[in-house]
Every structure is written in C-alpha cells, then in structure tokens.
A and B are shown apart, each in its own frame.
Chain A
C-alpha cells in the first residue's frame, strides 16, 4: 500500500497519505486519530480479502457505542460527526471501501442472510448493547468495495450480523466474520498471548520456524532461552512453554513478562503475514527502552524477509529516536522508512510525512516529532 485516502471515518473528515513505505511509524497527540488510521487500513484491507494482521490494545471498530435519542447506535460511531449522512470512503491505489447508511432496504428480502443466534450473541458482546433496545431492524450499513475493478457489496446490520446484498459476487470474508474474529484477536491487550496468538504461533511451529522465533523474539530478552513449544496440559487448552538453559523444566510463557509476550506477538504476526500488512497500535507499551533498537532491527529485517508492510503507532521518544541507530542498521533500511505525524488543527486531521532522510535531519535537530 503506497497511499491511502480516508473520508468521513470516525474523527477523520478527510485524510490522504502518500509515499508510504515498508515500515511506517505514526505519532501524534492523543485523539489525533492514529488508531483510527490503523482501523481504516484494517477495514479497507480486510474487506478486500488482503492479508492483514492487527495488534490493537483495544477492540477494533467496536469501541464507540453512541447514545442518541436514548438508543444505542453502535455503528454510528464509525461515521464522521456521528452522522449517517456522511458516507465513509476509504481507498488505496489497489482497493476501495465505501460505506453508506441505507435505511430503505427491505430487510425481508431474500437476498438477506439470516445470521445464526451465536453471531448475534457475538455481536451483542462486541458492542455491549442491549439487543432489546434496538429500535428497528432497518439500520443497515451498505458496504461497497472493489478489487481489480470488480465491484462487491454487502450490508452490515447494526447487531454485527451480516446480510449479503448479492450484487455481483459473494465476498470472500463476511464483515461479521472479520469483526468477530478480530474482536477476539485485538480485543485484548497485545501484551497478552491469547488463544489466537497461540494458534498463529502453532502455525509457524508446524512450519519448523521455532528456531527463528526464538532468535528473533525471545533472544531480545534472554539469550538463555533455547526453545519454544506448544503443549496441551489439558485437552483443548494449548499452552506455550519455554525451554531455558538454566532450568531443567519447561516454563510456561505466562510466567514471563508482558513485554516479551508483546514482542512474540509482533514476530508471530509478521512471520504469518508474508506479502501482507501488520498494524501495531501503541508499539511502545510494555517494552523497556534498552530493547527498542533490537526490536527495530528485527522489524526491519523481518519486514524485508517477509515482504510485510508495517504500520505502528507510538507516543514514545525512544521508539522514535532509536529507529536511527547503529544497531538497527539504519543506513540499509533508511529508504524503506516513513514517519507520519498526525496533527489536529481545529478538528481537521492533518498529516506531516517525513522520508528517511528528512526524519534523520529532524532527529539531528531534536525536533519534537510526536505532535
């Protein structure tokens, strides 16, 4: 993805980013739409069936149930100024995703897919709404997007259920599927290695990648770690174990700190995202500054090896400054890096974008890059 344009998505009325690179670090004050930018990217790439992995510290697309006229309208929060009359448009050079509110659709039409009760349940959990309070069944989000000039479309019901509009072709992934699925993945803090993380790790272990994982992720913290494995002490409860040279017993990953789990999450995501995109919200959380140069080195190396594009947000000066470091081999990766600051100017989200050379100069002059 070299560029992205966003209109009417949450706080962003209009935002265009160009010249995006393989590794992109995003900063800005609180409420400057850093996470919203990642959410927009996720929505765009997901509905277009592209390989995208989000690591969010909060739930994705599900955070803002809005109270209006005493009725909770959870999807209203996606629209700029909480107004369904502002159609959402997200596009890159390869794909588009247009979302409009359409209350004129006949919900009894045969082209509407009735969702199972379990999905409704997931939907209610997702948005923390009381289904009984939903006023009408006619609140629908009309989602349209294109891949290679072929138009697709579906309707997203506010309860999180899905209705296929059957425009031209069935979509590859239903929206309720990706929202529910990733609500599990990203709904938790990324410093927690949950079942989804374990499943992703398992995939890599099955590909005999455990040595690479140990070297790339775990040796950043402790070079005495020898191996990583998944076993199930109880049926259906797989758990990650670490083999450490100083102990003769396998140690559960849960015994280690959050920072190590977070880095393991990042490495696992990138290694599972060949030719894809990894979105990391608040990359700095939980990691000591001394690890940061090594982490950047690992991210640069893996993103190149797996041809994986990284978008990460941060508030940290160390995360910003240590991108340029002997240890990260910066001169080699300088042209693959872009730094974006999001600024809120009287409600308008305005980006400033630095390429590697400009970023280096800004750091040299100790410019306040974080907005």
Chain B
C-alpha cells in the first residue's frame, strides 16, 4: 500500500469524510470536488476494496470519533462503491456493514434506505453512491469513460474495439481466462488514456483536464451527490 497517499487521515479533524474504494477514486473525486469547493474541507479516505470497508469504518470512524453528536466536527459521510456486476448487492453490503457496526457501538450512523440519498441522525448525514450511476453495472472507469470529450469519441471507439478484441483473444486462447465487466472497463480506460498520451500516474486526475469533460451530463448525478 502506498502509505504516502494516506498521510492526511486524521479522524479527530474530520468534518466531511468521503470513503472511496481506492487511490484512483481518491484522485478522481479530489479533482471533481476541487471544481466546486475547497478540497481542504474534505477528508478522502481510500478503504482499499469493499472487503476492508467494515474494518475501516470500525477503526477509523466509530472508534476514533467518540460521541459523534456531542464532540466532533463530523457532519457528512459519503461512501462510494463500484457496482461491478450488481449495484443493488454492493449497496446492500455497505448497509449490512453499517447495521453490524451500529449494533456493536454506542455511536450510531445513519442507514440510508436508497442509493444516492442522505439519511440523517442528529447532525450527521450519510449517503451511499454506487458508481457509475446507482443502477448500471460498472466501476469508476465506466463513469469516467462516459465523460470523454466529443472530439475524442472516434479514438474511444477504436480503443473500446481494441479492448474487446484483446479480451476475445485471451478468452479463445486461455480456457481459464475470464474478464469481469469491471476488468473490461478498466482495460478500455487504460487503452484510451494511453492513446491520448496521458502518463499513467496522471490517469485519474490530470487526464480529466484534457480528454474528459467534467461538465458532462454523465457526471452531474455524482457531482450533486458530492456537493
């Protein structure tokens, strides 16, 4: 794990905390927020995969922030997660984590009943956004690819086709090979950003300045959720 990415995690000072799946999500979400708000007001914490979310909530949120209502700055918790092959299942899994932890701890976090809505307990609101759009299968890269600038659409068509052919080739030549929907989306994203000449370490932040349109309608729901 790249520890340098996490050096700003200080639950005692959290006001708005965004729990995201990984470091790529952190870069992308940071980029979006910086367009409409002061990034300093947000703590963006990558939980490193859904299987770690419960322990991260347990350790970093419930235990380290005592008596939420009386003694913390905490006001809003955003949780984002990839839908992968089932948006409903991803949402339910997070909800189950929250219910488990509410049973374990005196502190109680809100448990929203639907995606993309904020539930409030006391002063603290909590919402869950299932990427790409709280409905479709997919992941962060699916959402990003929906924002490609129109002039680059022909390139995207080519790289998408290329990705499909690569997967077909592997599938035909390796019986054990099976790409998930999200893996296919990640491959499409990688081929696209490579083709427009973005360096890998800038794939999720600086790339958005060139090959992508952050004002795209496809992003509006996600931006509204983060606001």
> Which chain B residues in 1-46 approach chain A with CB under 8 Å?
1, 3, 6-12, 45
B153 at the interface (CB under 8 A from A): no
> Which chain B residues in 52-75 approach chain A with CB under 8 Å?
55-56, 58-60, 63-67, 70-72
Query: Smallest CB–CB gap between B81 and chain A, Å?
Result: 17
Q: Is the CB of B56 within 8 A of A361?
A: yes
Query: Smallest CB–CB gap between A107 and chain B, Å?
Result: 43
Query: Smallest CB–CB gap between A101 and chain B, Å?
Result: 29
Q: Is the CB of B9 within 8 A of A366?
A: yes
Task: Give the residues in chain A near B48, CB-CB below 8 Å.
Answer: 365
The A contact surface, by secondary structure, is: mixed
Per the bound structure, the CA–CA distance linking A64 and B56 in Å amounts to 41
A343 at the interface (CB under 8 A from B): yes
Chain B interface, number of residues (Cβ within 8 angstroms): 25
A352 at the interface (CB under 8 A from B): yes
- A354 to chain B: closest residue by CB: B63
Are A368 and B3 CB-contacts (below 8 A) given A345-B71, A348-B71, A358-B59?
Answer: no
A362 at the interface (CB under 8 A from B): yes
Q: Is the CB of A341 within 8 A of B64?
A: yes
Q: Is the CB of B9 within 8 A of A353?
A: no
Q: Is the CB of A364 within 8 A of B1?
A: yes
Task: Give the residues in chain B near A343, CB-CB below 8 Å.
Answer: 12, 66, 71
Per the bound structure, the CA–CA distance linking A366 and B48 in Å amounts to 13
Task: Give the residues in chain A near B66, CB-CB below 8 Å.
Answer: 343, 350-353
Of the listed residues B8, B63, B67, B70, the one surrounded by the most CB atoms of chain A closer than 10 A to its CB is B63
Per the bound structure, the CA–CA distance linking A348 and B71 in Å amounts to 8
Are A352 and B60 CB-contacts (below 8 A) given A345-B72, A365-B6, A366-B7?
Answer: no
Chain A interface, number of residues (Cβ within 8 angstroms): 22
Per the bound structure, the CA–CA distance linking A341 and B8 in Å amounts to 17
Are A368 and B9 CB-contacts (below 8 A) given A361-B58, A362-B60?
Answer: yes
A371 at the interface (CB under 8 A from B): yes
A149 at the interface (CB under 8 A from B): no
Per the bound structure, the CA–CA distance linking A364 and B7 in Å amounts to 11
Q: Is the CB of B71 within 8 A of A365?
A: no
Of the listed residues B11, B12, B47, the one surrounded by the most CB atoms of chain A closer than 10 A to its CB is B12
Per the bound structure, the CA–CA distance linking A355 and B7 in Å amounts to 21
Q: Is the CB of B63 within 8 A of A352?
A: yes
Q: Is the CB of B59 within 8 A of A352?
A: no
Q: Is the CB of B60 within 8 A of A367?
A: yes
Are A352 and B64 CB-contacts (below 8 A) given A358-B59, A361-B59?
Answer: yes
- B47 to chain A: closest residue by CB: A365
Are A358 and B1 CB-contacts (below 8 A) given A367-B11, A371-B12?
Answer: no
Query: Smallest CB–CB gap between A217 and chain B, Å?
Result: 32
**Interface residue from A341, A358, A365, A371 paired with B9 (Cβ < 8 Å):** A365
- B12 to chain A: closest residue by CB: A343
Query: Smallest CB–CB gap between A334 and chain B, Å?
Result: 13
Per the bound structure, the CA–CA distance linking A305 and B1 in Å amounts to 36
Of the listed residues A345, A353, A359, the one surrounded by the most CB atoms of chain B closer than 10 A to its CB is A345
Per the bound structure, the CA–CA distance linking A367 and B19 in Å amounts to 14
Task: Give the residues in chain B near A361, CB-CB below 8 Å.
Answer: 55-56, 58-60
Query: Smallest CB–CB gap between B55 and chain A, Å?
Result: 5
- B46 to chain A: closest residue by CB: A365
Task: Give the residues in chain B near A366, CB-CB below 8 Å.
Answer: 3, 6-7, 9
- A355 to chain B: closest residue by CB: B63
Task: Give the residues in chain B near A365, CB-CB below 8 Å.
Answer: 6, 9, 45, 47-48, 56, 59-60
**Interface residue from A348, A357, A367 paired with B64 (Cβ < 8 Å):** A367
- A358 to chain B: closest residue by CB: B59
Task: Give the residues in chain B near A350, CB-CB below 8 Å.
Answer: 66-67, 71
Task: Give the residues in chain A near B45, CB-CB below 8 Å.
Answer: 365
Query: Smallest CB–CB gap between B171 and chain A, Å?
Result: 36
Task: Give the residues in chain B near A359, CB-CB below 8 Å.
Answer: 59
Query: Smallest CB–CB gap between A24 and chain B, Å?
Result: 15
- A351 to chain B: closest residue by CB: B66
Per the bound structure, the CA–CA distance linking A343 and B67 in Å amounts to 12
Task: Give the residues in chain A near B65, CB-CB below 8 Å.
Answer: 352
Are A362 and B64 CB-contacts (below 8 A) given A343-B12, A367-B11, A368-B12?
Answer: yes
- B73 to chain A: closest residue by CB: A345
Query: Smallest CB–CB gap between A368 and chain B, Å?
Result: 4
1/0 per residue, CB under 8 A from A, across B120-144: the answer is 0000000000000000000000000
Q: Is the CB of A354 within 8 A of B71?
A: no
Query: Smallest CB–CB gap between A122 and chain B, Å?
Result: 40
Are A354 and B64 CB-contacts (below 8 A) given A361-B55, A362-B59, A366-B3?
Answer: yes
Query: Smallest CB–CB gap between B7 and chain A, Å?
Result: 6
Per the bound structure, the CA–CA distance linking A348 and B10 in Å amounts to 19
Q: Is the CB of A368 within 8 A of B10?
A: yes
Q: Is the CB of A367 within 8 A of B71?
A: no
> Which chain A residues in 153-200 approach chain B with CB under 8 Å?
none
Closest 5 A/B residue pairs (Cβ): A368-B10, A361-B59, A366-B6, A358-B59, A345-B71
Not counting A354-B59, A367-B11, a sample of 19 additional A-B residue pairs whose C-beta atoms are within 8 angstroms of each other reads A343-B12, A343-B66, A345-B70, A351-B66, A352-B64, A353-B63, A354-B64, A357-B55, A357-B59, A358-B59, A361-B56, A362-B64, A364-B1, A365-B6, A365-B47, A366-B6, A367-B6, A367-B10, A369-B64
A interface residues (Cβ-Cβ under 8 A, vs B): 341, 343, 345, 348, 350-355, 357-359, 361-362, 364-369, 371
Q: Could you give 5 example pairs across A and B, Cβ below 8 Å?
A: A352-B65, A354-B63, A361-B59, A368-B9, A368-B12
